Structure 1
Amino acid sequence: MRLAFMGTPDFAVPALSALHAAGHEIAAVYSQPPRPAGRGQAVRPSPVHNAAEALGLPVRVPTRLRTNVAEHEFFRSLELDAAVVAAYGLILPGAMLQAPRRGCLNIHASLLPRWRGAAPIQAAILAGDSESGVTIMQMDEGLDTGAMLLSEHIALTDRTTATSLHDDLAAMGARLVISALTDPSIAPHPQPEDGVTYAARLTREDGRVAWDHDAAAIDRQIRAMTPWPGSFTTLDGVVLKIGAAEMGTAEAPADIPAGTVLDTALAIACGRGTLRITRIQRPGRGMMDADAFLRGQAVPIGTRLGT
């Protein structure tokens, strides 16, 4: 099958690799343009861009698509059977959605219609959902509103992180999209009208821990925000990233303010319950176990975090 592939981050790389390995003819790979990244802010191609070049595939990096008539015409000239889209990051206009013979298929990291939008992996963990999954969707001009071809579920646990779920769903999406393209018995069906939710794009501020929240909610936040934007708090005005935590087994005394350090192993009073920080990072250092952090940083009992 003659395809275009459109994706940008690590999530999309397994699907590109699977389509290539399955023998599909990938006429073009679209990705977002190279951008500054890392401490030195060197301009770097996206993970999909790098993967495509390693496979010897042509890459296109338009900065915009909606009004880019020249790109619409080029896309049409490819005479595609289908396009596969995975976390591309640019909205496809109708002229491009309609160009391939079988349209454009999207690998979406949620069980639609729950968690349409930009950050479905993090949203599922934040909400305490019991499951997540991947939906292969026939794209239309709405926000993740198209008809569904395939979906598959995965259970979430109280230790699932955005990193682990991302990797599981990326592999799942790569497998499912091959079936969606090659199995003639699979037919699209409309999304349910009930149960629609939206996952907003994340900002750095979404990682700020509010210690007056429930300990279980803070634990979900820490797991959902790993690795980006990362959860953080402050100690004497210094920003500390929290890499991992575990739920405490007891309530803090009622007269202890939220954010108070309760013992010498970084148990913290929350609005309800307690949370023990197990991985933490100070500025200019790597993420480390809490005991290693405490050997170089005194945090007396009674210290308030986040103030």
Structure 2
Amino acid sequence: MRVVFMGTPDFAVPTLTEIVMRGHEVVACYTRAPKPAGRGQSERKSPVHLAAEEFGIPVFTPKNFRDPADVATFAALGAEVAVVVAYGLLLPPAVLEAPEKGCLNLHGSLLPRWRGAAPIQRAIMAGDQRTAVSVMKMEEGLDTGPVSLLDFISIGPDMTAGELHDEMMRTGADLMGRALAALDRDALEFTAQPDDGVTYAKKIEKAETRIDFSRPAIEVHNHVRGLSPFPGAWFEIEIGGKPVRVKALRSTLAAGQGDPGTVIAGLTIACGEDAVRFKQVQREGKGAMDAEAFLRGAGDLTGRRVG
């Protein structure tokens, strides 16, 4: 099939690779424009941009599709289908309708639960035990299109957003490959999403990354793993007479009682109900380390309150 691929982060690269390896003709890749990064602020191309160049696929980086010329360029590619994976730009009706067989989107949730920008993080933060990666046909609404295929994924009690991201990345690539194979045979069927059970996964805001130890331990634990490794849930504690920001990367539920935010022992901290034990943390300006290594540098914190 003639395919246009639209994606930006590393999450999308395995799907692009799968499509190429299955022998489809990827006539173009659309991705977000390079952004300044690093100390020198040199422009850095997206992971999809770099992968497309390795495959010899032409790359387009429009800022949006408000310019009729960008829409005309897209339509002139004559694609049978567009595949969209974490692209990051809204597609107007003229783009959605240009490919003969429409636009397929790979979405990381069990739709209609967690439509929107951060489905992986929100599912874990809410304590969901199961999610899915879904292929749907795009329409104007936010992740409202009918679903064709999905694969269920279990969320373990200590699974982080990073681990779920990687599993979805692998599973989703194969799922989209199967969807295109069925579409090529005109055998891909779609089912409308139900009206019940709709939730929205809003973008993670900086203000919500700080840990609130007044909440029950299970909610604190889900908050930590839902934001690990990025952007990271954090707390402040005094070390050497100075407040130090500590990013929590791995936690587990622990026994213990005390005033919320008080260190009980080691890196076990009391919550509104029960306690959490931090297994891996990252001190500001340093790399990730296990709790034992952190405490060797910080000393005994028992009885200290987090800020």
TM-score, normalised relative to structure 2: 0.95
Deviation track 1:249-297 (CA, whole Å, cap 9, x = no partner) reads: x240xxx32110111x111000111111111111221111111111111
Gaps of 5+ in 1: none
Gaps of 5+ in 2: none
Q: How far off is 1:205 after superposition?
A: 2.4
One-letter amino acid of the structure 1 residue matched with residue 34 of structure 2: P
Q: Does 1:96 align with 2:102?
A: no
**Equivalent position to 2:236, from 234, 237, 242:** 234
Q: Number of aligned residue pairs: give it.
A: 300
SS of aligned partner of 2:177: helix
Q: How far off is 1:41 after superposition?
A: 4.3
One-letter amino acid of the structure 2 residue matched with residue 245 of structure 1: S
Q: Does 1:118 align with 2:117?
A: yes
One-letter amino acid of the structure 2 residue matched with residue 278 of structure 1: K
One-letter amino acid of the structure 2 residue matched with residue 247 of structure 1: L
One-letter amino acid of the structure 1 residue matched with residue 211 of structure 2: V
Deviation track 1:176-220 (CA, whole Å, cap 9, x = no partner) reads: 111212213321121111110000011222321001111111111
One-letter amino acid of the structure 2 residue matched with residue 178 of structure 1: G
One-letter amino acid of the structure 2 residue matched with residue 171 of structure 1: R
What is the aligned partner in structure 2 of residue 304 from structure 1? 305
One-letter amino acid of the structure 2 residue matched with residue 273 of structure 1: D
Q: How far off is 1:37 after superposition?
A: 3.2
Distance 2:261 2:53 in 1: 48
SS of aligned partner of 1:276: strand
Q: Does 1:215 align with 2:217?
A: yes
The question of whether the paired residues in 1 share the 8 Å contact of 2:104 and 2:138 is answered with yes
What is the aligned partner in structure 2 of residue 145 from structure 1? 144
Deviating above 6 A after TM superposition, structure 1's stretches of 4 or more consecutive aligned residues are none
More moved, 36-45 vs 225-234? 36-45
The question of whether the paired residues in 2 share the 8 Å contact of 1:203 and 1:229 is answered with no
Distance 2:130 2:41 in 1: 37
What is the aligned partner in structure 1 of residue 81 from structure 2? 82
**Distance of aligned partners of 1:202 and 1:37 in 2 relative to their CA distance in 1, 3 Å threshold:** farther
1:1-307 equivalences under 5 Å are 1-38=1-38, 41-65=41-65, 67-183=66-182, 184-236=186-238, 237-248=243-254, 250-252=255-257, 256-263=258-265, 265-305=266-306, 307=307
Q: How far off is 1:299 after superposition?
A: 4.0
SS of aligned partner of 1:124: helix
The question of whether the paired residues in 2 share the 8 Å contact of 1:8 and 1:87 is answered with yes
Deviation track 1:47-99 (CA, whole Å, cap 9, x = no partner) reads: 1111111111111111112x121110001100110000000000000000000
The question of whether the paired residues in 2 share the 8 Å contact of 1:204 and 1:230 is answered with no
Distance 2:53 2:284 in 1: 35
The question of whether the paired residues in 2 share the 8 Å contact of 1:115 and 1:199 is answered with yes
The question of whether the paired residues in 2 share the 8 Å contact of 1:145 and 1:191 is answered with yes
One-letter amino acid of the structure 2 residue matched with residue 279 of structure 1: Q
One-letter amino acid of the structure 1 residue matched with residue 276 of structure 2: L
The question of whether the paired residues in 1 share the 8 Å contact of 2:256 and 2:264 is answered with no
SS of aligned partner of 1:262: strand
One-letter amino acid of the structure 2 residue matched with residue 119 of structure 1: A
TM-score, normalised relative to structure 1: 0.95
Distance 2:24 2:222 in 1: 40
More moved, 93-102 vs 212-221? 212-221
One-letter amino acid of the structure 1 residue matched with residue 274 of structure 2: G
One-letter amino acid of the structure 1 residue matched with residue 21 of structure 2: A
The question of whether the paired residues in 2 share the 8 Å contact of 1:206 and 1:229 is answered with no
Distance 1:299 1:271 in 2: 23
One-letter amino acid of the structure 2 residue matched with residue 198 of structure 1: Y
Distance 1:211 1:105 in 2: 42
